[in-house]
Structure 1
Amino acid sequence: LSTYTRTKTMGKHDSDILTFVKLAQRGETSRKLRGLIEHAPKEEITAWRDADGLDLMHNVILANNSEVVEFMLQRGHFVRPHQPDVLLYSSLAALLGERTVLQILLQYRPDDYFPSKIPIKLPESVKDKLMSAKDSKATSPLDIAARAGHTECVSVILNQCVLRRHADEALEDKSDVTLACVADSPQSLALLLDRKSRDPRSWEKALEVCLHHALPDCLDLLLQAQTRDTRHMFKGMNFFHVLYTYSANHGAQSYARLAQATEVLVRHGHDVGARTPSRTFPMYSLLTHAFCFHDYDNTQYYVKALRVLLKHGADPNHDEIKLEKRYPKVMAGRILGRSAFSSALHCLMETVEQYSQYLQSPALAVQFVEDCACVIMGSGRSSMNRVSFIGDSDKMTIQGSILHQLAKSSVFLGVNPAIVRCVLRHGADPNLKVEGRYAINVYFDRLFEKMRSLKVVDAKHKHMEDAMTICRLCMFMEHSAIRDCLDVFVKNHKMEASPQVQHYVSAVVEELGRRSRQVHPLRDSSAWAAWKACGCRFENVHKLQVSSEIKTYILPMAF
C-alpha cells in the first residue's frame, strides 16, 4: 500500500486525496468518499501523483473499485480531453481484466478504444503479476486485453466500441469472432477462437469480412481454424475472386494488403487456377479491378498480387470464352458481374478500353497497360499468337491474337509505340491473318466505325498520327503480307462514303502501297532473318554471342 500512498509533491488537499485512495482500495463506496474531494479543485485532483507517477484514477482502477471510478467520471474528473502521463486508463483496466471498470471507462471515454502512444508504466508491486509493456506490442485496449487473456474484456470492447463504430455497415453477424475481424485485431481473434465454441455461421461471416476488407492476419487465423468444406460459400466462387472483387469497396487500406492476403490464400491451399464457376478465374478478376484511375497509386498493390498469382502457377492463357462455348452447363452457371476473357492480355486490354471513356487523357490507361503487361509477358508463359475471341465476350464476333486485341483497343487508347514494341518483343507476329484480317485491318475497321458515329467532321484529322503509326507494323511484316493487308483494306473501305474517313482511306492506301514496294537495306533484312531465327523471342536474342549493339538492332525496337 505504501507504494501508492507516497506523493511526490505535497498539495493543499494531498492528505484528503491520500485518504480517498486508501478507502477506495478497501472497497469503500462513493457515498463515504465524496466528502474528501468535493472541496478540492479539479486541477489539483488530476495533478496528484503517487511515488510511481500514477494519478488518482490509476490508483482507483488498480483497486478495481468500479463505483468510485464512475463517481469521479460523473463529476467530470479524468474525462477527455484529459490524458494521463502514463498508462491509458482503459488500457490499465484491460490489462488487469477488470470488465466492469473497463465498461464504465469506455462509456465516458469512448476514444480510449483507439491505439495510443502513451507509455505503459506499472508499479513494481504488480509488475511481476502482469504483462509488462516491454513484453507487448499491443497499443490499444482491445489488443492489450487479448494478449493478457481476458476474454470478457475483449467482448466488452468489441460490443461497446467496435459494434457501435460500424453500426452503419449493417453487419449480418455481430458475434465476437466477426467483430474481432471488423476491428482487424488478430490478437483478440486468436483468443476467441481458442476459448470460445466455434459457431460455423460466425466463422463464415468473419471470413467474409476478412476477404471483403483484405485482412491477411485475421484471414490466416480463420483458415487455420477451418473445420468444414468451404466450397459452398459465396455461391461456389473461389476466395481470390471474392477478395479482388469486393476489397476495392472498403477503403484505401484494403489495397495495400491485397498481396499479403493473396499469399495467405495460396499458403492454405487455395487454387490460383480455379475455373468454376465461370468468370471467376482469379487473375482476370484481379485485372478487371486493378485500374484505380481515381488514385493510381493503389494499382501497384494489384500488380504485386498479380506477381504472386503468376509466381504460384496461374495460367495467363486460360480461355474462359472457349470453355463457355464448349460446355453449355458452364455458360449457364457463370457468375454475373464481369465479362469472360480469352487470356490475361485480352482481359487487360478490354478492361482499360472500358475505363477509357471516363478518362480525360489516355496517358494513365497506357501506363496501366505497361505496368501489367510487363508482368504478364515477363512470366514467359503468355501465348502471344494464340487465336481467340476479342472484344465483348457476350457477342463473340471477332477473333484474333494479342496484337489484334491491342489494335482494337488502341482506337480508344491511342497507338502507343512502347506498348507495341513490348508486344512485338515478346513474340507477337504482325503477319498473322485471322478471319481475313491483319492487326492493321482490325485497327482501321474499328477506327472508321468510331468516326462514322461522330456528328462533327474531323477537319483537323486528329487520328492521322496514330493511323500512320500503326502502319509502321509493316516494318515487321513480309512484303506479301503487306500487299495482302492493303488488298483487304481496299476491299473493305474503297467505297467509303463517310466524309469522316475518306481522307484517311486515301492516306492509308498510299502509305501501305509505299511500304509494300519498299526495298529494305541488307542490314535490316539480316536483322529480320535473325529475329525470325530466334523464334521472335527477345530472350533468345539475348543468348546470342554478339555485341549489345547488334542485339538491339535485331530486336523490334524501331517501331
Structure 2
Amino acid sequence: MASSESETEEMDVKLVVARFLDEVKQNGSESKCKAILSCSAKDDVIKWLDENGNDLMHLCILENIPEAVECLLANGYFTEPHQPEVNPYSHLAAKLGFRTVLNILLSFRLSDNRAMNNLFYPSQKSDSDITRQKKVSPLSVAAEAGHIKCVYLILTQCVIKEHPKRAKSSYVALATLANSPEAVKVLLKEKPTKDDIAEAIDIAVHCAQPECLDLLLSTGIDVKNIFSGVNFYHTLYSFSSVQSFGKEGYARLPQVTEVLLRHNHDVKKKSPTNTYPLYSLIKNSLCLDNYTWTQYYLECVQMLLHAGADPNFDEAKYEKLLLRKGTKSIVGRNSYSSAIHCLLDTVEFYADTLDSKALAARFVIECADLLCHNDANINQIGQITRKNSTMGTVLHQFAKTSVQIGVDLDILKFFLRQGADADVCVDGKYVVNIFADELFEKLKETSPHLKQRDRMPDVKRMLEICAHMSRGAIRDTLRIFKNEHSRNPSPQVKLYVGVISKELEYHLKHIKPLKMLVAQAIWRFCQRKANNVHKLPTTAKFKTEILPIS
C-alpha cells in the first residue's frame, strides 16, 4: 500500500513539472505558474529528477526559459544553499551561453560564481569520473565555451561586486583578479591595451597567479616600468608577507617563480638597491603560523640559486656605492652583505613573535644548508648592524642574532662544520665580543631594580665557541672584553662580566689536550670542510672528533 502511495505521489510531481513547463512555454502568468507548483510539496518538486538526472531547474535552463528560472527562484525553489549533485546551475547556463538565464541565477544565487566540479553537459558521466574532474568557475566555463558576453556579465556582476574598488578596471584585469586563465586567454583575443595588460600583470604578481601571469607575459609587453623598475621577484616576495596573501598564495609561490624564470626575468637584478631577489625572498620566508608555508619559500630559494642567484652578493656595499652617486634606496627592507647575513637578520626580526625557538633554528639550518650547497661563503665579512655599521662574518651575525633568539648550539655546530672560522677578528671584534656588546646593551634597557630573564645559559653556550678558537684569538678576545666592560660594570651586567672573563681566562691558561689540537690542525688542513674530512683515510670515530662540536 505504501509503495502504491509513493508511486502516486511521484506521478503527481511529474505531472506538476510537465504542467509548469507547458504553462511557462505558453507565456502563462506568474500567479498561474505558482498555483501549479503549489499542487505538490516544495521539497518534492525540488527533489524530483527525470530519467537523465535533471531536476526542474535544469530543464528550465536547458530550454532557455528565463521567466521560468526567475519564477522558481522568486518563489523559494532551488535557492541557496541547495546544490544539484551534477551540473551546477550557473555553470550549466554559462556552458550553454544563456546570458539572461545566467544573469538571473547569479542575482538570486550569489555564491554560484565559484569553482565547482560535476559539470557533465552535454553527456552524463559515471560516478568514477566525478572525482577526476577539475573544479572550474562559471567564468572559466563561459570562456572555454567562447561565450564572451557571459564572460563580461560575470566580471561585471560578480567580480566587481566582490572587489568594488576595481570597478574601473579592464575586463582582462578583472579576469586576472578572478584567477581565471581561461577568461584571460579569451579576453586577450579582444586586443586589450598595453595599460590594461600591465594592470592585469600587477594583479597576477600581487595575487600569485601563475597561469594568468604566464599568459599575460606571453603577449610580449614591455614590463620594465610596471613596478617602477623594481623586479617582479621583489614585488612578489614582499607582498607575500601581507595577511591577505593567504595559504593558497604561499602554495603558488614556486609556480609563479617558475613562470618568471621561464620568461627570463633576471635573478641577479640589483637595481634599485634593496631589491635583490634572493634577499627579498629570504626576508619574507619565515611563516610563524604554519611552517609548511615556509617550505614553499625554501623551494623558491632553491630555484633562484639554480638559476644563478649569487648568495654572496654584497648588497650593502652596492647600496653605499649608489648612495655616494646620489641614487636613493628603495624603502621597505634593509640591505644585506650576503644571503646568510640576511637569513640571520630575518630570524632576529621575528624574535619577539616567535613561539618556538626550535622552529627558528630549523629554519636557519634548512635555509643555510641550501645556501652553502650553492657556494655561499660562510666567512664573508659584511655589515651586521645598520645603526653603527658594525661589520662581521656570519658567526658575528649569529652572535648578534643569538641575543634575541637565544644561543642555539645546533646552528653554531652547523656553521662551524660548514667552515666558519671562529678566529676571525673584524673591526677589533671577535664573535664573543659582539655577543657581549649586544647582550649588555639589551640588559641595560631594563632597570636594575626589576627582575631580568636569566641569560647565563646563553652566555655559557656561546662560550663553547672558545673550544674552536686559537689561544691567540682567545687572548685578544679577553683583552678587548676587559678594555670595554671590566671597568665599573653596571649592576645589570656585573655578574655576566665576571663569568665571561673567568671562562676566557680558563681557556687561555689551560692548554687543550694534544688529541684536540691535532684534530683542529687537521680541520684547518681540510680547509674547514666536512666533505674533506669524510675523505680522510681514517676511522669514522676520529673523523667525528675532527668535526667541530662533535
Distance 2:84 2:294 in 1: 42
Distance 2:132 2:340 in 1: 50
Structure 1 position 86, deviation (Å): 2.9
Matched, 1:96 2:89: no
Q: 1:173 to 1:427 in 2, by over 3 A?
A: farther
Unaligned segments of structure 1, at least 5 residues: 1-6
Structure 1 position 532, deviation (Å): 0.7
Residues 117 and 133 of structure 2 are in contact (CA less than 8 Å); yes or no, is this contact kept in structure 1? no
Aligned counterpart in structure 2 of residue 422 of structure 1, from 406, 414, 425:
414
Structure 1 position 338, deviation (Å): 0.9
Q: 1:361 to 1:158 in 2, by over 3 A?
A: same
Q: Which residue of 2 aligns with 1:236?
A: 229
Distance 2:82 2:437 in 1: 71
Q: Which residue of 1 aligns with 2:55?
A: 55
Q: Which residue of 1 aligns with 2:3?
A: none
Q: 1:487 to 1:120 in 2, by over 3 A?
A: same
Structure 1 position 391, deviation (Å): 0.9
Structure 1 position 453, deviation (Å): 2.3
After TM superposition, the structure 1 = structure 2 runs for residues 182-201 of structure 1, keeping only pairs within 5 Å, are: 182-193=177-188, 195-201=189-195
After TM superposition, the structure 1 = structure 2 runs for residues 95-244 of structure 1, keeping only pairs within 5 Å, are: 95-118=95-118, 120=120, 122=122, 137-167=134-164, 170-171=165-166, 173-193=168-188, 195-225=189-219, 227-244=220-237
Q: Deviations over 1:46-72 (max 9, x none)?
A: 344333222222222112122232233
Residues 95 and 142 of structure 2 are in contact (CA less than 8 Å); yes or no, is this contact kept in structure 1? yes
Distance 1:396 1:85 in 2: 66
Letter in 1 for 2:413: R
Distance 1:549 1:348 in 2: 33
Aligned counterpart in structure 1 of residue 463 of structure 2, from 465, 468, 471:
471
Letter in 1 for 2:150: C
Matched, 1:334 2:329: yes
Q: Which residue of 2 aligns with 1:531?
A: 523
Residues 92 and 121 of structure 2 are in contact (CA less than 8 Å); yes or no, is this contact kept in structure 1? no
Aligned counterpart in structure 1 of residue 377 of structure 2, from 369, 376, 383:
383
Aligned counterpart in structure 1 of residue 426 of structure 2, from 434, 439, 443:
434
After TM superposition, the structure 1 = structure 2 runs for residues 305-324 of structure 1, keeping only pairs within 5 Å, are: 305-324=300-319
Unaligned segments of structure 2, at least 5 residues: 1-6
Distance 2:452 2:86 in 1: 71
Residues 29 and 68 of structure 1 are in contact (CA less than 8 Å); yes or no, is this contact kept in structure 2? no
Residues 423 and 430 of structure 2 are in contact (CA less than 8 Å); yes or no, is this contact kept in structure 1? yes
SS in 1 for 2:391: strand
Structure 1 window deviating more from structure 2 (469-478 vs 50-59): it is 50-59
Structure 1 position 356, deviation (Å): 1.4
Structure 1 window deviating more from structure 2 (447-456 vs 359-368): it is 359-368
SS in 2 for 1:12: helix
Q: Which residue of 1 aligns with 2:268?
A: 273
Q: Deviations over 1:369-400 (max 9, x none)?
A: 23322222232x111222222112xx343111
Q: 1:502 to 1:152 in 2, by over 3 A?
A: same
Distance 2:208 2:228 in 1: 19
Q: Which residue of 2 aligns with 1:290?
A: 285
Q: 1:207 to 1:499 in 2, by over 3 A?
A: same
Distance 2:19 2:450 in 1: 91
Structure 1 position 88, deviation (Å): 1.7
Q: Deviations over 1:426-483 (max 9, x none)?
A: 1111111111111111111221222222203587882222222222212111112211
Q: Deviations over 1:497-540 (max 9, x none)?
A: 31222222222222111111222222212211111111111222
SS in 1 for 2:106: helix
Q: 1:451 to 1:76 in 2, by over 3 A?
A: closer
Q: 1:82 to 1:467 in 2, by over 3 A?
A: closer
Structure 1 position 16, deviation (Å): 5.3
Aligned length: 537
After TM superposition, the structure 1 = structure 2 runs for residues 65-84 of structure 1, keeping only pairs within 5 Å, are: 65-84=65-84
Aligned counterpart in structure 2 of residue 402 of structure 1, from 394, 398, 402:
394
Residues 316 and 335 of structure 2 are in contact (CA less than 8 Å); yes or no, is this contact kept in structure 1? yes
Q: Which residue of 1 aligns with 2:482?
A: 490
Letter in 2 for 1:221: L
Structure 1 position 298, deviation (Å): 2.3
Letter in 2 for 1:60: C
After TM superposition, the structure 1 = structure 2 runs for residues 338-353 of structure 1, keeping only pairs within 5 Å, are: 338-353=333-348
Structure 1 position 186, deviation (Å): 1.6
Q: 1:176 to 1:502 in 2, by over 3 A?
A: same
Q: 1:444 to 1:66 in 2, by over 3 A?
A: same
Distance 2:13 2:390 in 1: 89
Structure 1 position 421, deviation (Å): 0.9
Question: What is the alpha-carbon root mean square deviation over aligned residues?
Answer: 2.7
Letter in 2 for 1:65: I
Letter in 1 for 2:346: T
After TM superposition, the structure 1 = structure 2 runs for residues 484-523 of structure 1, keeping only pairs within 5 Å, are: 484-523=476-515
Residues 433 and 477 of structure 2 are in contact (CA less than 8 Å); yes or no, is this contact kept in structure 1? yes
Distance 2:274 2:34 in 1: 73
Structure 1 position 414, deviation (Å): 1.4
Q: 1:107 to 1:55 in 2, by over 3 A?
A: same
Percent identical? 39
Letter in 2 for 1:328: L
Residues 8 and 51 of structure 1 are in contact (CA less than 8 Å); yes or no, is this contact kept in structure 2? no
Letter in 2 for 1:438: Y
Residues 349 and 406 of structure 1 are in contact (CA less than 8 Å); yes or no, is this contact kept in structure 2? yes
Structure 1 position 181, deviation (Å): 1.6
Structure 1 position 329, deviation (Å): 6.1
Structure 1 position 9, deviation (Å): 8.6
Q: 1:376 to 1:281 in 2, by over 3 A?
A: same
Structure 1 position 182, deviation (Å): 1.6
Letter in 2 for 1:283: L
Residues 145 and 151 of structure 1 are in contact (CA less than 8 Å); yes or no, is this contact kept in structure 2? yes
Q: Deviations over 1:31-87 (max 9, x none)?
A: 397388255223454344333222222222112122232233223332233333432
SS in 2 for 1:11: helix
Distance 1:55 1:521 in 2: 87
Letter in 1 for 2:499: A
